[in-house]
Chain A
Amino acid sequence: MGEFFLLFGDTIAAALLLSILIAIAGSLMLINRSSYIAAAIAHGSYGGVGLALYLGLPILLGVGLFALLLALLLALITYRFPQRAELIIGTIWAVGMGIGILLIHLSPGYGADLMTYLFGNILLVSREDLLLLALTDGILLLAIAIFRHHFITLAYDRDFAKIRGIWVEGTHTLLILLLALAIVASVRAVGLILVVALLSIPPFIAERMSKSFFQMVLLAALFSALFMLTGLWLSYRFDLPSSATIILTAGAGFILSLRKRP
């Protein structure tokens, strides 16, 4: 156990930083029922991977630009056309991935480790990745410290928020931008596909046990830390891919939480 912590100091730091990010962004996502939007940003951002490879830019820059663009587009669509949103979101999702596949195909000499962008590799995080995660945690913490009541009221009763003079479209857009930021920051560690599951599971379990939003965020952070550290330890102990052990641990937690409804 001690050896595990020594060997994987950076990885464990990444897991803990990720837990904060997942707890905040995931809880906001869940109360606003925007998991479909987060999934579309995450999958659509594969187009950013392709773009970066094709133009020879840093991957994170490509993914970041793409995620930003998709977030603004999705904010606009889901605000203006809520009835049609699902269909359009599905299209954006698929088109983004299509662009990614095409551009990667056209980029010479690129092969297998694209899986890294879909599933990440938390064992290979760099100091820069940690810095980005810490920065993102800071931004998310600041955002909910300031806007938590606005986000909560918006999620609970949009009409009421509007009557209270809240800038509903701005708050809605900010929320989606925060989701995009969380997704981009976690690409290297957990990848575009895994991140959606991680954003969903711990906050979902936490929501059912919480009396307040604050409690939900706190519990979600504890659960995601628990799932990630357990997953990492299993990966180390049995020499298995960490992304798989992390997500399967979270999945097991999810199933257990369904059984133990108070």
Chain B
Amino acid sequence: MSSRIAVRVEGVTFLYDQEPILEGIDATIYEGEFIAIIGPNGGGKSTFLKLLLGLLEPTQGRIEIFGLPPAKAGGLIGYTPQHLHHNLEMPLRVIDVVLQGRLGPWKFGFTQEDYAIAHQALQRLGIPHLASQPIAQLSGGQRQRTLIARALATQPKLLVLDEPTAAIDIQGQRHIYQLLKELSITRIVVSHDIKILLEGVDRVFYINKELYIHRNVSVDLDPSGHFCEMELLEELGRSNG
């Protein structure tokens, strides 16, 4: 981890229809950090990511991604959206979706290298055999892996994943957490599942309209390997650690 800044968020507030969704958010994320974002449903996690991605504009405050305004930093970011209700009927193969990660404004076709990068991304997600599968035939978990592969195929400096494992079984989740742990780029991962805290994250952002940042969250497992999720979540939302 370096001390160079990847993401700087200063005094950001976001209103939706006059309703504050996020308030007074300040955060600095350093290059190479692995950040987990957790918090209640509707707490503003996805909104926070969309602000970082330049898909939404802060009502107040400022965001910089590697020193650039978010709208200009898209080329540095690999993104996996939370909701998978994309055009599922579209006649696309898995590889076509992953290749979207190689697209750019002045790019009108894909090179051998693009294909190689896309295949490699599928390999890392453990689904190289699905490359020519039509997306209409994928399970929820396979679709999610495809979208993570697409994010990796952008060869990003910053990976932004919104609940990437929601549709994936426990074993698959471990595989993806392991993959995230091995990456050295900056990672911001929203998780519905606080088991992610066991997977080598550097800091935890708890977002519920406001942001609470925690370092070194210790997760106490009981003998059966469970921990009390409710208690931990409540605590994370209470104080800055």
**Partner-B contacts on A (CB < 8 A):** 31, 33, 146-147, 149-150, 152-153, 155-157, 159-167, 207-208, 210-213, 215-216
Contact = CB atoms under 8 A, between A and B. Distances in A.
Contacts of A159: 50, 53, 55, 79, 81
B110 interface: yes
Contacts of B107: 149
B176 to A, nearest CB: 19
B81 A160 contact: yes
- Pairs of residues from A and B, 9 with the lowest C-beta to C-beta distance, nearest first: A210-B91, A163-B74, A165-B105, A153-B100, A216-B91, A164-B103, A211-B134, A146-B108, A31-B90
A155 B96 contact: no
A160 B105 contact: no
A162 B74 contact: yes
Interface in B56-97: 74-75, 77, 79, 81, 86-87, 89-93, 96-97
B100 A164 contact: yes
Given A211-B91, A211-B132, A213-B91, A156 B105 contact: no
B172 interface: no
Contact of B109 (A149, A160, A162, A211): A149
B104 interface: yes
11 contacts: A149-B100, A152-B96, A156-B90, A156-B97, A157-B86, A163-B74, A164-B74, A165-B74, A207-B91, A211-B91, A212-B92
Nearest to A208: B89
B54 interface: yes
B93 A165 contact: no
B110 A149 contact: yes
A159 B100 CA distance: 12
Contacts of A150: 103, 108
A164 B106 CA distance: 11
B45 interface: no
A33 B87 contact: yes
Interface string B90-125: 111100110111011101111000000000000000
B187 interface: no
Nearest to A147: B108
Contact of B55 (A146, A152, A162): A162
A7 to B, nearest CB: 38
B150 interface: yes
A155 B86 CA distance: 9
B75 A165 contact: yes
Nearest to A213: B91
Contacts of B54: 162-163
A117 to B, nearest CB: 33
Nearest to B106: A165
Contacts of A155: 87, 90
Interface string B115-157: 0000000000000000010100000000000000010001000
